[in-house]
A and B are shown apart, each in its own frame.
Chain A
Amino acid sequence: MCLGIPGKVAKIYEQDGTPMASVDFGGVEQAVCIATTPEVALGQYVLVHAGFALNVLSDTEAEETLKILRDLQEFNARLTEEDQIQ
């Protein structure tokens, strides 16, 4: 339905009256319109679809996700270790 890719806001500027950002996708830069995310700040991650930033990554939720992932990975690593011991 909708290709949406997260990228990091590297620069904020205006072009012909339109609020724009240069968004970094792991070394690839794309000019993105931020009219629908006017509150976005440098360094934040945005979800980009069809040249527009549609939303800003939720800091707390991302941290929560990271934490869950770390827990799950530790859990998996422990499982693997136990497998090896057995």
Chain B
Amino acid sequence: MTQSELPIIDGPNCPLPITNRGQIVLGHGSGGQMTHDLVRDVFQLRLANAILDTANDAAIVTSAPPGKRLVVSTDAHIVSPLFFAGGDIGRLAVCGTVNDVAMLGADPRFLTATFILEEGFAIHELERIVDSFAQACREAGVELIAADTKVTEKGKSDKLFISTTGFGWADSKLQIGGEQAKPGDAVIISGPVGNHGIAVAEARGNLGFSSQVCSDTAPLNHMVKVLLDAGLDVHVLRDPTRGGLATTLVEIARQSQVNIELDEETIPVDQPVRKTCELLGLDPLYLANEGKMILILPADQAEEALRSMHSTRYGEEAKVIGQVLGSSRGQVWLKTPFGTTRVLEMLAGEMLPRIC
């Protein structure tokens, strides 16, 4: 090699790290530049607000106003697949926690969230989910005030887990809870049940059916507010998520030490949900919902409650489905169209398709 053939070196020539990747790598969890870039480009861009923008280690919020109490709920969200008809894990993570806070009659105001990312997860999918998370926050009227991201090695988590904690304020005088159902109360459901369970089962794709059923994932806090603003004497509010309507009502019956009687014919179930359940041997009363609530209040207020619910976006199909009876067995009975009765139990384990 002659002098003239030697390469000309201007300065240090180490390869620069690739910063603009299409998927999550361990470096995104390093706490360094890549983490900052991810937080800025994916999260802050979509979720900016005055409190989050302070970028400190913790958020400072004003305490509950006089006459109000702080209500807190926390929830972890894992769903496979991350996207399904009618929603995704982002919308689910907001609505699930907002609804839990709202079910105590509180007005949800703030959320905190942890995003656990698996190495290799596509960033454009994360962006879609954070978009949806942000949209659900706007719809519910809550702000994300603190958040964290962590990255696990591939195979040590599953794409994305989101854990959210919600904070809201409730009137100090309110007494709403699963233990408050009283004999003579009416049981109301805010709309048809089972849609979320079917939508997720369909999205998994291994059962081969196509139903056009969309998940009902939605924030219910506005509907709760309308009911409370109307001055109704709400005894119980609960969202029948995992375990479905039947399991949730059994919980309430046990907590309140009352029996609950349902009229099977009045329980709203969309036709495609009903048909899919027949096909797979599932029971819509045990399928998950993510945008429905059970309301229990004195029977003489049921009509006004229905009117209030019908005026809201997610309560148009609200119906009275049963009543609270004056015994203390803690059972839920279902009256069939045949005039017969059966006892509803909690869901025993995982709900499996029944083929034979």
Residue from the list A5, A26, A50 in contact with B272, Cβ < 8 A: A26
User: What residues of A have a CB within 8 angstroms of the CB of B271 in the complex?
Assistant: 26-27
Interface check A31, CB cutoff 8 A? yes
Q: Does A3 contact B210, Cβ atoms closer than 8 Å?
A: no
Alpha-carbon gap, A3 to B278, bound state (A)? 9
User: What residues of B have a CB within 8 angstroms of the CB of A62 in the complex?
Assistant: none
Q: Which residue of A lies closest to B213 (CB)?
A: A28
Alpha-carbon gap, A9 to B281, bound state (A)? 20
Residue from the list B209, B210, B356 in contact with A50, Cβ < 8 A: B356
Sorting the interface of chain B by its residue count into under 10, 10 to 19, 20 to 34 or 35 or more gives 10 to 19
Q: Does B208 contact A5, Cβ atoms closer than 8 Å?
A: no
Q: Does A28 contact B281, Cβ atoms closer than 8 Å?
A: no
Interface check B355, CB cutoff 8 A? yes
Q: Does A25 contact B279, Cβ atoms closer than 8 Å?
A: yes
Alpha-carbon gap, A7 to B209, bound state (A)? 13
Interface residues of B in 279-323 (CB under 8 A from A): 279, 281
User: What residues of B have a CB within 8 angstroms of the CB of A7 in the complex?
Assistant: 279
A1-42: contact bitstring with B at CB < 8 Å (1 yes, 0 no)?
111010100000000000000000111111100000000000
Q: DSSP majority for the A interface?
A: strand
B201-212: contact bitstring with A at CB < 8 Å (1 yes, 0 no)?
000000011111
Return B352 CB to nearest CB of chain A, in Å. 12
Interface check B354, CB cutoff 8 A? yes
Given A27-B211, A27-B272, A28-B209, the answer on whether A5 and B356 have CB atoms closer than 8 Å is: no
User: A7-B279, A25-B276, A50-B355 provided; 4 other pairs, C-beta below 8 A?
Assistant: A28-B272, A30-B210, A30-B279, A31-B208
Interface residues of A in 48-68 (CB under 8 A from B): 48-51
Q: Does B272 contact A3, Cβ atoms closer than 8 Å?
A: no
Interface check B275, CB cutoff 8 A? yes
A65-84: contact bitstring with B at CB < 8 Å (1 yes, 0 no)?
00000000000000000000
Residue from the list B210, B278, B355, B356 in contact with A29, Cβ < 8 A: B210
Return B60 CB to nearest CB of chain A, in Å. 51
User: What residues of A have a CB within 8 angstroms of the CB of B279 in the complex?
Assistant: 5, 7, 25, 28, 30, 48
Q: Does A28 contact B356, Cβ atoms closer than 8 Å?
A: no
Interface residues of B in 236-280 (CB under 8 A from A): 271-272, 274-276, 278-279
Given A27-B212, A30-B208, the answer on whether A3 and B275 have CB atoms closer than 8 Å is: no
Residue from the list A1, A28, A31, A48 in contact with B276, Cβ < 8 A: A28
User: What residues of A have a CB within 8 angstroms of the CB of B209 in the complex?
Assistant: 28-30
Q: Does A27 contact B208, Cβ atoms closer than 8 Å?
A: no
Alpha-carbon gap, A50 to B356, bound state (A)? 8
Residue from the list B275, B355, B356 in contact with A27, Cβ < 8 A: B275
Alpha-carbon gap, A66 to B21, bound state (A)? 64
Q: Which residue of A lies closest to B198 (CB)?
A: A28
Alpha-carbon gap, A14 to B209, bound state (A)? 17
Q: Does B356 contact A51, Cβ atoms closer than 8 Å?
A: no
Alpha-carbon gap, A7 to B276, bound state (A)? 12
Given A1-B356, A50-B356, the answer on whether A25 and B212 have CB atoms closer than 8 Å is: no
Alpha-carbon gap, A51 to B353, bound state (A)? 12
